[in-house]
Structure 1
């Protein structure tokens, strides 16, 4: 490469520009990675707001010979969204849908708009008649600009093709800052009054025509041969028969020729009727052999997965996550669509009959229910993340990686290619999990490469070379939608002739003669095993208080491997579906995403210059500040990143020998303070209702804006619980610190509900789950309490331990065995259930409530219950007792234990509440609000401005035989 290094003058000029630029070590750590195997530390990260600001940065970098890398959602699996120069994050501000025209069936967008947001905007504007077609599995965080850069496709590419098929025009910034527009018929100045740009467009057009005229035969013979031929530049679009389509020639150029600052994209009709078929097979190759037959029925999608993904999904998310799949070892998802249900159903019957005649399919299921469809599609869409940590048949876990995750052949060649590829994997003693776009012949195969050792990297390089030769043998392409990037550009000569490789180099040079735009992609690449993120990580002894069950035998410490679970797929950057990551949804800043935090932690464990202080790292402390410790990432993240645990571990080390924030004592030690306030509750409540309130809250590091709970006395709790039982019991009802101290009425209701079903409960009020100490990183204190809890509750019985507060139940289920690594702790953890689970269990044995139930309920599931016990725990309990109208506020409430009470976090806490809970409360103000979690209860009270417990209720209160709720 010929990129000149920066000097201090450049950095000064960059800082003086009008563009928001960040050169902090923390920010550079966040942007040193994408979703690939690679790591490169940038010089700076810029957040442009307009095309003019992009032009300004490009011109500055051009003058100093500094590389520029345009980045969308950072979800590139080929390493084409990282670089050594200035990274332009187009997703932060340039993320608007500017206009939608139903008449012309087009939309004008900025490059940073997320695909799912564009689709939603189009469907709202056109009354669900039109949509934007490309739908990669990362559509809820991938951007239009990134999709243009890679020529992304998606699940329905059988019907709709690649992104390039939907590009009408591209607004560009060239390497020197010149602004041009590429159209379906050529190039022009974006601003017609810009004479210099107009002259550049004319000259560049002439050079591109000359390049094409000199390569007519090569372009026609080697380019555009199969549907998913994404590798290299798409120069066949410049051929005369294709109308000199410069816009589409630039799609898939990976930001190496120009920076896309705007686009006009085409829209397509939404099908009137759809039907999903799930077909099970004994073998993935058998499934591939049926693809040609399936394509005769003009499906919209034909997607495939193998048993490795399904077994991993089952191990990670439970049997229920894959219960709707028919029995088999490989599956095809076939989407049929049409004008009406009858026609689609007839095609489905004909197709199933055809498949039966071949004898390869084991079973076929029709799926029409939208909820069931979404659940099944999630198995496929989470494939990249799930398959990164494979669960093998013997129970062990192994890591798999991209690199050869994007090859494609013609659909009719897919089965033979997969059969030979499996033999190649066996030859190299590698495991490859297979999934992908079978209908387009495109395979996503993550492989168990060892990137940590020189021998492993050498084997990886050799395999990639042999795999490239194999796919070429079958008439295929190295990349089917992810681009070549750092992962495959070196291998392009295996696929293309010297004449085509020279044409690629000339094409790049015509647009970017200084080679500053994403250098090293497609043209003049570095070796595929250079700059691997897992290479050269020192074997540091990162001792942890948590027992992290993460190690896979590579020799790295458990904490190092745990934080390296993040592979950058970026699901945490989504603003829809699931719960994570509430702080990112509130701020839109990469540092507040689970991925951003994990990347800074990864820099910490490698001792990188960007984050050098280890457990004392200020960068890590800063990036974790807005983490709510909601634990949703441990469930929603396909790779299972548990940032709440990592944060607790880090804070425990960080504050050793340091003065902690006062809130760590006022809130972190809350169970201890509650034992004191229980004896003086009236005095405490009176003081907090007096002018002393504000001073006391400030002294404790707490916000003065929040409604406070009323402290309960010991007498209140005794009265609510009534007379203790003597003799035997078949259930332990654990009354936690929050319920004892603030909601004693819930404790009484819970006892009455479980005993109404015939149980005899042993009520325990003398245990602590240690949660407040865990969330503030005071792990030795937490372990001490949990050790005592485990020793006492492990009583030799298998009685269920029903915990009223879901966050405490989650701590006992998950944190207890990780902090107290004993068989006693594990036995206790297995017995723990939430109150909602207990209600479902009672209902399954025939118990029904003896009171009138509310007609409608708005549910705020506690994030810890969602993460540890499952997203449907509350919903299942309500369904079991017969409450039919349920509105779920699917998202974090924003309080999250101590977070929402801390002075510096109040504003973010309320912004998080606006993501789900506040809109749900406004949508049905008359509904009963179900908040089993104390944090959720307090936020609901805050939002409804009602300082009484009737603003929101625990499930026990709704079902209490003494309840006064009426229909």
Structure 2
């Protein structure tokens, strides 16, 4: 008998059964792991029919999947997984008069919303807006009956479905809507007959069970658990489409939909409310609802503290006093009336006595910043600022809003009884709570607590008249406990409904009608207890501090291997799969392939530590190497990922072990050893440059370097010395902790005989005791010395306005060795840099090249975990970050040349990830310069864009942001590229507009 893959191949379809691909699709955003047999990326409904034909012939189960962000375990399965997000994602014309839009099942919700608002001039929008909307798909939202932040006003996805285009398990294309089920193709007689039989059976089911359907279903706004059979009742118009929403892919495969649209309000205002705790916040919800808000969302202090810990204190600003907060969106046609409503709300809540503090937030940028804290709640709550972990499983319960406070009070007692802690956030206005809980899912004892608690939690929410699921679906996480919520008769109706559609149980077998135990197939179970030795210290950090660990439920798992704990950080929320906001993940944005997402790579690494059949060879694994190949090591995920997954670090660690004792790729020797080659080339730079201008240039691919990208000219060895000496900078001198630097003349001093600049900082004299701590140390990095020495002079002159400048050079941050995984050498370079720069002062160390600044700030203390390294790292600033501090203090000098009216700004990814978003923008806008920012990776990313095999992808990444920014601005607008790699991409894209450093723009001149 032909195999499933043979049948697909005969039909002209491909099934990916590679170990790496199966690893990527063994997980969604739930606690579960189920390796599939194959993954298919359908391009049409015809492809889906072909896959189902092969499934029926071989008895292979089928699981439909959108963005893979579901938390109930409904997007994983042991058979074939259909990923709709890659190809079946088209958006159709908007019918403004009818208020609908056509969308493919794989269309991302945020793209659908943007499409509708552009087509209607902002008059209409698509209402469901779950926090995952920038990567969740229409099919996924339909499968779970997703809701979102504004569900108080707009309800669930099921409230916005007009028609569904389906492929049934037995191979028919049907269309479902209110009052009908018909063949999608009117000329398909067999499909029409099948539709008629199905409709008759569904009508019979409803007619024979009117009482239970009316009394057990739709009792609260967020009753998502089970099937939505009440939609089949006569008073609801026999709405077959709505009945299928929330069925989690168990009845039919949705390939497209016509979704209803709503009017977009002309004016909106966020009111932020602070409370002592979430119970107090919940008590005010009924009063808030009398003001007809569009949204009432809540978060607790653990999420806020984790955001600040991971992304800096200024990542959360504008919150009123409190330990729990509600976000209330008010809207209307008249802004003055909306503001008056906000004032009235605040007055009413203050009078009630529970509100600690509150304020209206009119600024759109501040609103967006606050909403991001709420939207990243799932990730932020999973790896807390305490070092502890929390997990889904009971993150989706719902009660009536007027029961929420009592439910939460009882729920906290339940947590305490089981020795657990919960991080609470969610849709307070709809009574739906997302509670991440500190389960220990790695041990048998912890899993026993998980099971016992889940049973008790089910009984508690039902006692409060609630639902196990409020929008995420039942899946593997909750289906086992549906008998607590529903009568035996209703459970039988659910099974009957499913059999009507899929008699053989081909589609997503199991939940909700025949579910596996909730503690089966847990991803954290069965991971071998192995100690993986690493170069990096992988404890989570924030603000330069190591996270405390311990044995309480809120701390990191005691004794767990650091590498295993790090790679298990990804919980599947999938922010790396978005093209909206942040810099992550440039390779996924270019290829739209799960393998090139941060999540996909993390999942393969998780299989590696399991020693699973899909990824068996540990550090030598070819699957992991393939998965990491297109990672640009941009570090953006370390900031943009809500969980803080740092794939650049994991890639460097893996490459170090993978190539141990092996011949490396040629680029690891040519580009990875670049500082060595620069040291050799400097004294003979003119000769080297002349040689590279000859046909010898064509030999670059032999060194793993692309011939398609012009190589930069090498600077003479003495050029940087002359540049900073002419600027008046003095040599920095190293010394033991507690010693101070030698007093030197100030910048610009005319005193003759100023000491020559140090050529070997590590060898500088240590007689530096007693000096005054003033000014800064300017670190002139390898790239600046070797290629852009003029930038060092400009930086020195700008910094001189703030005080004395001393120059450190000939130390190395080891960046090129880090990115190529040559960590033994990198650690030596970094240890040398720490010794050279630890002069006993607290003076800022200002680094010209952002990537080198990031290496000294972040990688130094992780690869060289000493007090000396931590002292030095804490002092490191990028030039832009320090210039921002100077600007805030009013100490920036007057530039010699008039500042332009506009610039194109390409922020270096490492600057963004390590020193924060907008550091250059703040300086420029303070100086009155308009900024056209290219908010994404330039595509070169150090060695990546120079490597022959990666040049094509490098240029694709440039098209995401940088290239359009250059095309959309005039030639008179300078291009700011503080990063050397960004400057090379600028030269590639627009040779007439070479990239300039911020220091050159601000240069006060000699």
Q: TM-score range by the shorter chain?
A: over 0.9
Contact 1:20–1:48 under 8 Å retained in 2: no
**Structure 2 portions without partners, runs of 5+:** 541-548, 550-555, 732-741, 745-774
- Rounded Cα–Cα distance in structure 2 between residues aligned with 1:41 and 1:71: 14
Contact 2:165–2:255 under 8 Å retained in 1: yes
What is the aligned length?
947
Contact 2:474–2:511 under 8 Å retained in 1: yes
- Rounded Cα–Cα distance in structure 2 between residues aligned with 1:399 and 1:743: 45
Is 1:849 the counterpart of 2:893? The answer is yes
1:676 aligns with 680
1:715 aligns with 718
RMSD of the TM alignment (CA)? 1.2
Contact 1:663–1:701 under 8 Å retained in 2: yes
Contact 2:101–2:259 under 8 Å retained in 1: yes
- Rounded Cα–Cα distance in structure 2 between residues aligned with 1:55 and 1:332: 47
State the SS of the aligned residue for 2:447. helix
- Rounded Cα–Cα distance in structure 2 between residues aligned with 1:510 and 1:216: 18
- Rounded Cα–Cα distance in structure 2 between residues aligned with 1:339 and 1:961: 50
1:549 aligns with 539
- Alignment equivalent of 1:424, drawn from 405, 414, 418: 414
2:865 aligns with 821
2:545 aligns with none
Aligned pairs for 1:161-200 (under 5 A) are 161-200=155-194
Contact 1:280–1:331 under 8 Å retained in 2: yes
Q: Which moved more, 1:708-717 or 1:627-636?
A: 708-717
2:26 aligns with 32
- Rounded Cα–Cα distance in structure 2 between residues aligned with 1:412 and 1:715: 74
- Alignment equivalent of 2:944, drawn from 899, 902, 918: 899
State the SS of the aligned residue for 1:754. helix
> Which stretches of structure 1, 4 residues or longer, exceed 6 Å deviation after superposition?
none
- Alignment equivalent of 1:591, drawn from 592, 595, 608: 595
Is 1:908 the counterpart of 2:908? The answer is no
1:300-348 CA-to-partner distances (Å, cap 9, x unmatched) read: 0000111111111111111111221011011000000111112212221
1:489-511 CA-to-partner distances (Å, cap 9, x unmatched) read: 00100000000000000000110
1:725 aligns with 730
- Rounded Cα–Cα distance in structure 1 between residues aligned with 2:3 and 2:116: 45
- Alignment equivalent of 1:756, drawn from 801, 804, 823: 801
2:692 aligns with 688
Contact 2:900–2:929 under 8 Å retained in 1: no
1:904-950 CA-to-partner distances (Å, cap 9, x unmatched) read: 1011001100111111111212212111100111111111123xxx6
State the SS of the aligned residue for 1:678. helix
- Alignment equivalent of 1:877, drawn from 898, 920, 923: 923
Contact 2:169–2:507 under 8 Å retained in 1: yes
What is the deviation of 1:8? 5.9
- Rounded Cα–Cα distance in structure 1 between residues aligned with 2:345 and 2:894: 51
State the SS of the aligned residue for 1:263. strand
- Rounded Cα–Cα distance in structure 1 between residues aligned with 2:462 and 2:862: 49
1:624 aligns with 628
- Alignment equivalent of 1:953, drawn from 971, 996, 999: 996
Is 1:706 the counterpart of 2:709? The answer is yes
- Rounded Cα–Cα distance in structure 1 between residues aligned with 2:49 and 2:128: 28
Contact 1:490–1:527 under 8 Å retained in 2: yes
- Rounded Cα–Cα distance in structure 2 between residues aligned with 1:474 and 1:214: 29
- Rounded Cα–Cα distance in structure 1 between residues aligned with 2:259 and 2:854: 46
1:404-435 CA-to-partner distances (Å, cap 9, x unmatched) read: 00000010100000000011001111010000
- Rounded Cα–Cα distance in structure 2 between residues aligned with 1:741 and 1:17: 57
Contact 2:5–2:15 under 8 Å retained in 1: no
Is 1:465 the counterpart of 2:465? The answer is no
Contact 1:275–1:368 under 8 Å retained in 2: yes
Contact 1:858–1:889 under 8 Å retained in 2: yes
What is the deviation of 1:9? 2.4
Aligned pairs for 1:278-297 (under 5 A) are 278-297=272-291
- TM-score norm. by structure 2 comes to 0.93
What is the deviation of 1:903? 0.6
1:848-868 CA-to-partner distances (Å, cap 9, x unmatched) read: 322232221221111011001
- Alignment equivalent of 2:464, drawn from 474, 486, 490: 474
- Rounded Cα–Cα distance in structure 2 between residues aligned with 1:21 and 1:725: 64
Q: Which moved more, 1:768-777 or 1:202-211?
A: 202-211
1:795 aligns with 839
Contact 1:854–1:883 under 8 Å retained in 2: no
Q: Which moved more, 1:349-358 or 1:519-528?
A: 349-358
State the SS of the aligned residue for 2:407. helix
Q: Which moved more, 1:569-578 or 1:709-718?
A: 709-718
Is 1:887 the counterpart of 2:892? The answer is no
**Structure 1 portions without partners, runs of 5+:** 1-6
- Alignment equivalent of 1:208, drawn from 185, 202, 220: 202
- Alignment equivalent of 1:414, drawn from 401, 404, 421: 404
1:238 aligns with 232
- Rounded Cα–Cα distance in structure 1 between residues aligned with 2:73 and 2:352: 41
1:561-607 CA-to-partner distances (Å, cap 9, x unmatched) read: 10000000000000111000000000000000000000000000110
Is 1:503 the counterpart of 2:493? The answer is yes
Residues 346 and 846 of structure 1, relative CA distance in 2, 3 Å threshold: closer
- Alignment equivalent of 1:537, drawn from 489, 506, 527: 527
- Rounded Cα–Cα distance in structure 2 between residues aligned with 1:410 and 1:264: 30
1:382 aligns with 376
- Rounded Cα–Cα distance in structure 2 between residues aligned with 1:132 and 1:561: 39
Is 1:962 the counterpart of 2:991? The answer is no
What is the deviation of 1:14? 2.8
Contact 1:603–1:610 under 8 Å retained in 2: yes
- Alignment equivalent of 1:866, drawn from 912, 935, 942: 912
Contact 1:65–1:514 under 8 Å retained in 2: no
